[in-house]
Structure 1
Amino acid sequence: MVKQITYSALFALTLASCSTLQPAATASRKPSVSEEKSSSAGQVRFLDDISMDANASKPEAKPAYESPSRRTSGGTASTRDHRDNRSASSSRLLNEKAPVVEKTTAVQLKYAILMNTEVETLKDMHLLEYVDEWYGTRYRMGGNDKSGIDCSAFTKAIYLSAFGVTLPRTAREQYRAARIVSSTELKEGDLVFFNTRGGVSHVGIYLGYNKFIHASTSQGVTVSDMFDPYYLKRFLGSGRIERSEAKAKTPGDEEAQRGF
């Protein structure tokens, strides 16, 4: 009888203790992932220490791409100033050259082209006017007039008409009469000598800028370059005839004044 009462008391105590511990176990149970998601979906949560700036959400506006052609069409202020200065400089140079161009003669322009130089660099127009009278005259051995002329007769005619100086007839004799000067000291009107057939056999008149005029066997009276391989290889030297007492004449004088 006593055992039955003890068992009944223990059973009742067990039931009471299970019912008492169950809420505690239920309260300590962690919610599942799905329950957290459903719980957070229905709530609005705010983060602490976050300040809102009305302009922060607007991205900084970047300048639109501008192609090089569009940039140069108008140009910056400095670019426009550079163009204006360059235009002003060009206009000033043209104005400075205008008087030179206006005074340029056909002969001066012709020999500037033949000599590959600027018009204003041609100083001895007196000499050019005389040689131009003979330009294009055909070559003829022993000739001494406009129907045909050889190299030494051409130099003799120019020296007589332009400088009033009488030269010997042949190239070899002119070489002996001239004072030899260095090729680096050449001046307009100096004589240049070549060996084309043995010894001093060809002569011309130096015009400047490495160019000389002579009676060529193939082209007649023409302008050639001292550095042409043919003449450079055959160059013998240069000479100067004193012209201090030369009496300059004007083109168009009578042929008798030229010794013909």
Structure 2
Amino acid sequence: MTRQLIPAFAIILFLTSCSSMRPVNSKQPVIAGKGNSANTDKVQFLNDISTESTPPVLKYAAPKTQTSSKASLKEDHGSVTHAAAAVEKASATQLKYAILLDTEVESLDGDLLLDHVDEWYGTRYKLGGNSKAGIDCSAFVQAVYVSAFALTLPRTAREQYKASRIISSTELKEGDLVFFNTRGGVSHVGIYLQNNKFIHASTSQGVTVSDMYDPYYMRRFIGAGRIEKPEASNKIF
């Protein structure tokens, strides 16, 4: 009898132990807002993660070189029109000296001195000469000053230097004189025009335009001088 009750008692004990273990092994759903604080924080953290990424905003700035206002276009057009008009109205002498002086034609507009120096352009050099058959540097300067400014200068380069008011080379204006030492002392003179160019009677080329920055003349440059001119001629300078 007792042996028959032992298996039945074992079954009852096993069922009782399984029932007490069920809540521990069972999985219960976690509901947001309920349960312990650890589960709640974990759910909240997951809710804050966004699965959609926002693309960066690209800002396009047009290149400055490609943008131009109507005002600037009109200004450029006006400059081109003015330059074209100046070239159209320019005399043959102005066009010639714009090339020789490497400058714009409009900068020579109304330039009266060029007409006087151009009368002698290309005349051959002759020491002591004072005519179209041949002329030296100081005689050329003397002839131009008489015709352009009605001023009579001394005959030699040295005397013209003494008669001038010595100025800095940075003060040079059209019509000023530039002096050089080519044979000892003040021995050569020319008339400054513009853009570092001067016209003179060269021993090798006759009356021509040369550059102040030519190495030959830079080494021999002595100084610059200004002869005071009549008020009527100041507009040229």
TM over 0.5: yes
Counting aligned pairs with the same residue, the percent is 54
Work out the CA distance in 1 between the residues paired with 2:71 and 2:188. Answer: 53
Residue pair 1:114, 1:223 contacting (<8 A) in 2 also: yes
Work out the CA distance in 2 between the residues paired with 1:79 and 1:217. Answer: 51
Residue pair 1:135, 1:221 contacting (<8 A) in 2 also: yes
Is the aligned partner of 1:120 residue 2:106? yes
Please show how residues 1-260 of structure 1 align to structure 2 within 5 Å.
Answer: 8=1, 10-25=2-17, 27=19, 82-97=68-83, 99-122=85-108, 125-176=111-162, 178-183=163-168, 184-244=170-230
Amino acid at match of 2:165: I
Consecutive unaligned residues in structure 2, runs of 5 or more: 34-42, 44-49
The two structures, once aligned, show a CA RMSD in angstroms of 4.1
SS of corresponding position for 2:119: helix
Consecutive unaligned residues in structure 1, runs of 5 or more: 1-7, 31-35, 37-44, 51-55, 248-260
SS of corresponding position for 2:122: coil
Amino acid at match of 1:128: L
State which structure, 1 or 2, has the greater radius of gyration over its C-alpha atoms: 1
Amino acid at match of 1:201: S
Residue pair 1:156, 1:166 contacting (<8 A) in 2 also: yes
Shift in Å, 1:200 = 1.5
SS of corresponding position for 2:208: strand
What's the TM-score once normalised by structure 2's chain length? 0.67
Amino acid at match of 2:175: G
Work out the CA distance in 2 between the residues paired with 1:143 and 1:115. Answer: 26
Residue pair 2:178, 2:224 contacting (<8 A) in 1 also: yes
Work out the CA distance in 1 between the residues paired with 2:56 and 2:221. Answer: 72
Aligned length: 212
Work out the CA distance in 1 between the residues paired with 2:74 and 2:226. Answer: 46
Shift in Å, 1:81 = 7.3
